[in-house]
Amino acid sequence: MGEVTIGGAKNAALGILAAAILTDEEVTIDNLPDVRDINVLLEAMEDIGAKVERKGRHVVRIRGNSIDSIHVDGEFVRRIRASYYLLGALLGKYRRAEVALPGGCDIGCRPIDQHLKGFRGLGARAEVEYGMVVAEAENLKGGHVYLDVVSVGATINIMLAAVLAEGNTILENAAKEPHIVDVANMLNSMGANIKGAGTDVIRIRGVERLHGTEYSIIPDQIEAGTFMLAAAVTRGDITVRNTIPKHLEAISAKLLEMGCEVVEFDDAVRVVGKPKLGSTHVKTLPYPGFPTDMQPQISVALALASGTSMVTESIFENRFKYVDELARMGAKIKVEGNVAVIDGIDHFMGTSLTAPDLRAGAALVLAGLAADGYTVVDEIKYIQRGYEDFDEKLRTLGAVIEQAEDEREMKRFKLRAM
Ligand code: EPZ
């Protein structure tokens, strides 16, 4: 039984940081998670001349008045996906942006055609040239944009450019994730005029300029969900504090179906795992559907449930890479196309695992907590992209977990934990 406090939403923060350079005035962002993806984006912003001043671990002050380049390249761009938000922000503010094609977790083919379609809908030229995405417009004009696929990234990027375009933009088939609403609220606090964020249709009336703001980021839905699943996987009792239960409904519903107890409070959720979990079927979908970013974590729980479960991944085609790792712990999972058929087993057996990406890495840690014996999870740099103090938070909840730099530290840990 324990409590854990959730930090700011990484995927909202990435859009919000890019939004901060849309004004020359000072912007203060609070509840910023201290995770690698955020720190890399801040580096990229400093590299083009923005002033970035840390006011504490979770507070940053940004000033975009000193930006002297619209060319975002370099190693950091390739390390994170969200560097592409600088495209929308720079195009909106300076009417030209050049950003190296983004990297990020290898969870499938990740096209940016919808981002480009959106920029073109605002009258910009947007092309990929020699590995760079180049977007420019003499007159950035509001337009009517219909997204062919529901994309979080494209929705945010188009909002970033459209807030400073001339006239009205209508964005149809927009993503509805909580972080879309948070980015829109932050932009509105800077003087933007965005309506409908959180629905399929977002309407943006362009304004001439934006002003400074102070803004606090919403809690991270996926960090919260990961700890909810930790309770299920370890048969624990965890109260997840500083969260918005409404954002977690799809996850709560599945936990209830599996037989867990879920109690919602105003800004907390308590999950009580049961000795025997039941099977269920899960299909990932855009919000308010079950989040793809929670698919590996729930699959770990289902691998320990009685009966057969089916997990369908409908957002990213390469998000089952962790299944081979789980198989090494004894899990019985068969993947065919975008469906994993999971036959629940009684227990995992600890072994050495490699994190293939951010969420799968976190899921493997949860598997390790439930396994007999020791589990070593390698490549934790992926986990550090999106979880702040993951091991420390789990330790506070009673987990025996430590980061080890080398074999000697690992041996020492094993002796201590015996
Ligand atoms: C965001 O990625 C998140 N990343 C991901 O978080 C998350 O998994 C994903 O949304 C879905 O919720 C950030 O916010 C930085 P999409 P994004 O555009 O924006 C297709 C995590 O673990 N598509 O909503 O890249 C695409 O291939 C991660 O924190 C196009 O076809 O995702 C996918 O099938 C990893 N053309 C679907 O849309 C495009 O131009 C949804 O992708 C864009 C996307």
Mean pLDDT, residues 379-394 taken together? 96
Return d(Cα 219, Cα 32) in angstroms, integer.
9
Question: Of 131-145, 221-235, 399-413, which gets the smallest average pLDDT?
Answer: 399-413
For residue 175, what are its two tokens? 């993503």
Distances (CA, A) of 274 to 271, 329, 398: 10, 21, 17
Would you say the CB of residue 149 lies under 6 angstroms from ligand 1?
Answer: yes
Whether 353 shows a pLDDT value over 90: the answer reads yes
Q: In the chain, what percentage of residues exceed pLDDT 70? A: 98
Place of tokens 């074999």: 407
Strand partners, 270: 239, 263
Return d(Cα 383, Cα 226) in angstroms, integer.
12
Q: Angle at Cα 386 formed by Cα 382 and Cα 387, nearest 5°?
A: 100
Please tell me the number of Cα atoms within 13 Å of 291 on its side-chain side: 23
pLDDT score recorded for residue 82: 83
Would you say the CB of residue 176 lies under 6 angstroms from ligand 1?
Answer: no
pLDDT score recorded for residue 409: 84
Q: Angle at Cα 383 formed by Cα 381 and Cα 386, nearest 5°?
A: 110
Q: Residue 151: which pLDDT band, with cuts at 50, 70 and 90?
A: very high
pLDDT score recorded for residue 78: 74
- Angle of helix 152-162 relative to helix 113-121, nearest 10 degrees? 20
Which residue out of 38, 105, 181, 301 is catalytically annotated?
105
Instruction: Give the nearest ligand 1 atom to 179 CA.
Output: 14
Would you say the CB of residue 338 lies under 6 angstroms from ligand 1?
Answer: no
Distances (CA, A) of 99 to 83, 124, 129, 164, 231: 8, 15, 10, 19, 41
Q: 189 in the Ramachandran plot: left (φ > 0), alpha (ψ -120 to 50) or beta?
A: alpha
| 63 phi, psi to nearest 5 deg | -135, 120
Return d(Cα 285, Cα 298) in angstroms, integer.
14
pLDDT score recorded for residue 405: 84
Output the CA 108–ligand 1 centroid distance in Å: 10
Would you say the CB of residue 315 lies under 6 angstroms from ligand 1?
Answer: yes
Mean pLDDT, residues 392-409 taken together? 92
Output the CA 414–ligand 1 centroid distance in Å: 38
Distances (CA, A) of 394 to 168, 181, 245, 379, 402: 47, 29, 21, 18, 10
pLDDT score recorded for residue 268: 98
Tell me which residue has its CA closest to atom 31 in ligand 1.
111
Q: String of b and e for 57-94 (b: at least 16 CB within 10 Å)? A: ebebbbbbeebeebebbeebbbbbbbbbbbbbbbbbbe
Instruction: Give the nearest ligand 1 atom to 149 CA.
Output: 38
Task: Let me know if 109 is a catalytic residue.
Answer: no
pLDDT score recorded for residue 77: 76
pLDDT tens digits for 70-92? Answer: 999 877 777 787 889 999 999 99
pLDDT score recorded for residue 108: 66
Would you say the CB of residue 225 lies under 6 angstroms from ligand 1?
Answer: no
Tell me which residue has its CA closest to atom 41 in ligand 1.
151
Rg of the chain over Cα atoms, rounded to whole angstroms, equals 22
Q: Residue 104: which pLDDT band, with cuts at 50, 70 and 90?
A: low
Q: Residue 105: which pLDDT band, with cuts at 50, 70 and 90?
A: low
**For the purposes of burial, counting CB atoms within 10 Å of the CB of 407, is it exposed (0-12), middle (13-18) or buried (19 or more)?**
exposed
- Mutation test of ligand 1: which of 10, 84, 116, 152 has the most ligand atoms closer than 8 Å to its C-beta? 152
Would you say the CB of residue 7 lies under 6 angstroms from ligand 1?
Answer: no
Instruction: Give the nearest ligand 1 atom to 104 CA.
Output: 35
Would you say the CB of residue 201 lies under 6 angstroms from ligand 1?
Answer: no
Mean pLDDT, residues 129-154 taken together? 95
Would you say the CB of residue 134 lies under 6 angstroms from ligand 1?
Answer: no
Question: Of 203-212, 264-273, 400-409, which gets the smallest average pLDDT?
Answer: 400-409
Instruction: Give the nearest ligand 1 atom to 152 CA.
Output: 24
Q: Mean pLDDT for the chain?
A: 95
pLDDT tens digits for 44-63? Answer: 999 999 999 999 999 999 99
Q: Residue 106: which pLDDT band, with cuts at 50, 70 and 90?
A: low
**For the purposes of burial, counting CB atoms within 10 Å of the CB of 144, is it exposed (0-12), middle (13-18) or buried (19 or more)?**
exposed
Strand partners, 53: 61
Tell me which residue has its CA closest to atom 13 in ligand 1.
11
pLDDT score recorded for residue 256: 98
Mean pLDDT, residues 383-405 taken together? 95
**For the purposes of burial, counting CB atoms within 10 Å of the CB of 415, is it exposed (0-12), middle (13-18) or buried (19 or more)?**
exposed
pLDDT tens digits for 323-352? Answer: 999 999 999 999 999 999 999 999 999 999
Mean pLDDT, residues 225-229 taken together? 98
Q: pTM of the full predicted structure?
A: 0.97
Would you say the CB of residue 114 lies under 6 angstroms from ligand 1?
Answer: yes
Whether 103 shows a pLDDT value over 70: the answer reads no
Q: Residue 107: which pLDDT band, with cuts at 50, 70 and 90?
A: low
Tell me which residue has its CA closest to atom 42 in ligand 1.
151
Tell me which residue has its CA closest to atom 27 in ligand 1.
110
Return d(Cα 213, Cα 186) in angstroms, integer.
8
For residue 363, what are its two tokens? 């899921």
Residue 281 near residue 309 (C-beta atoms within 8 A): yes
Would you say the CB of residue 83 lies under 6 angstroms from ligand 1?
Answer: no
Return d(Cα 16, Cα 22) in angstroms, integer.
10
Q: In the chain, what percentage of residues exceed pLDDT 90? A: 89
Output the CA 153–ligand 1 centroid distance in Å: 6
